[in-house]
Amino acid sequence: MEKILILDFGSQYTQLIARRVRELNVYCEIHPFNKIPAIDASVRGVILSGSPFSVRDAQAPTPDLSAIKGKLPLLGVCYGAQFLASAFGGEVQPAPSREYGRAVLTVGDAGDPLMRGLPATTQVWMSHGDTITSVPANYKIVASTEDVRVAAFRIEGEQTWGIQFHPEVYHSTDGTQLLKNFVVDICGCGQSWTSEGFVEATVRELREKLGDDKVVLGLSGGVDSALTLAIAADALGPDRVRAVMMPTEYTADISLEDAEKLARTLGVRYDVIAISSVFNQYMTMLNPYFEGRPWDVTEENLQARIRGMILMALSNKTGALVLTTGNKSESAVGYSTLYGDLAGGFALIRDVLKTRVYRLCAWRNRQEPVIPERILTRAPSAELREGQKDEDSLPPYAVLDRIIESYVEKRMAPGDIARLDGMNPETVKRIITMIHRSEYKRRQSPTGPRISPVGFGRDWRYNF
């Protein structure tokens, strides 16, 4: 599978570069600058990220580019560009004032492959304290700003470029075109990769990591557990996967029917362990202490924790790894239960937004129709009380995911999100508050593969 490598020097924008590349339907991987993987035929080009360091620092990152520069297309962004200049005979000095914010880029060579299709002047986003003051003789300046003479350069005789601005942020109005020029036209990537292709890669990775291990998961009759079960069965084989339905009086008959149909179609072991009697015993014990207070999230969480306890017991007894089934939308706003549906060892879809879960289910069914259509068309519900629907607590997932994507993945300011078409400012404010308040849950949730450029955890944390 063809790919672009991004060598990370610690920039806050590295994940956003990856997102922009993947939005072009090109697969990319991020690697630390000092842990460059083997360069094989699948690598079509390399991008060097920015960095909080200055190239003049004694401890500045210094990559070994001997297997890359002059042999593969190479694009240095900000620090990456300054390294390409200073390490090969140019000069980098402190800028008279820190360059941070919008600037107008003037294209000096419209025929340059990286600049092709850009207007004569275009807005870009600057973020650096140093600037390139001179370049070696074989470096050609192809774009400038009023304050930055060497805003972009090309090394003649090589497919190597450097830019002292950030094309990946949305303030750079033609940044996507520039990245497309590099990734598609210069590197020759075919734009055939999709997030569905990443699922296929995840299947292979899961198979390799788990070896002969078995897994167990809770099957609800909903879309999240359906996708998780399908991926697990594809990766490990049905004989190593166990699905457990744990109904209560709030579980709809169609949930039971669809869960069983899915499990039988996939050929996995399927057990039904009703938890109503256990839940009622807890309620009988606790009711005197609830002192007549009305039903609320307490009773809902109790059901989730009973299910988590059962799955962990089966895991302890059989040695099977518990797969959790929560998605990124739920993780973002805390629509999950600690020690309940968050209890487990691996979260397959923790970085998949709910709207994408539906798309991936549809894609899986195009390969072979295994997920019952009703799972994909009914209103989502946790079924923890009579008549419950997710939209009782959350905005429609199309709205919720757009807010999450804008705030977490694109790092847009709340005010800018509120001004997007169709957005309600109060809804945006409420969801961002929920994202912040749910950080404590995310820090206690299991790990899992990343499908988006910015996943919760290492990529994005809220410091509470």
Task: Report residue 440 as tokens.
Answer: 């404590």
Q: Which of 21, 53, 319, 345 is nearest to 189 (CA)?
A: 21
How far apart CA 222 and CA 357 sit, in angstroms, is: 11
How far apart CA 214 and CA 233 sit, in angstroms, is: 10
Q: What angle do CA 21, 26, 27 make, to 5 degrees?
A: 95
The per-residue b/e assignment along 2-12, b for 16 or more CB within 10 angstroms, e otherwise, is: bbbbbbbbebe
Q: Is 166 a catalytic residue?
A: yes
CB atoms closer than 10 angstroms to residue 255: 21
The per-residue b/e assignment along 213-243, b for 16 or more CB within 10 angstroms, e otherwise, is: ebbbbbbbbbbbbbbbbbbbbbbbebebbbb
Q: Is 439 a catalytic residue?
A: no
Q: Is 78 a catalytic residue?
A: yes
Task: Report residue 229 as tokens.
Answer: 């079960």
Q: What angle do CA 168, 362, 258 make, to 5 degrees?
A: 135
Q: Which of 127, 210, 118 is nearest to 173 (CA)?
A: 118
Chain centroid offset of residue 426 CA = 26
How far apart CA 433 and CA 350 sit, in angstroms, is: 20
For residues 6 and 33, the answer to whether their CB atoms sit within 8 Å is no
Q: How far is CA 148 from CA 52, 103, 169, 212, in A?
A: 19, 9, 19, 57
Q: What angle do CA 354, 369, 402 make, to 5 degrees?
A: 15
Q: Which of 168, 330, 383, 409 is catalytic?
A: 168
How far apart CA 51 and CA 10 sit, in angstroms, is: 5
Task: Report residue 312 as tokens.
Answer: 């962990």
Q: Which of 166, 187, 361, 409 is catalytic?
A: 166
For residues 124 and 42, the answer to whether their CB atoms sit within 8 Å is no
Known catalytic residues are 78, 166, 168
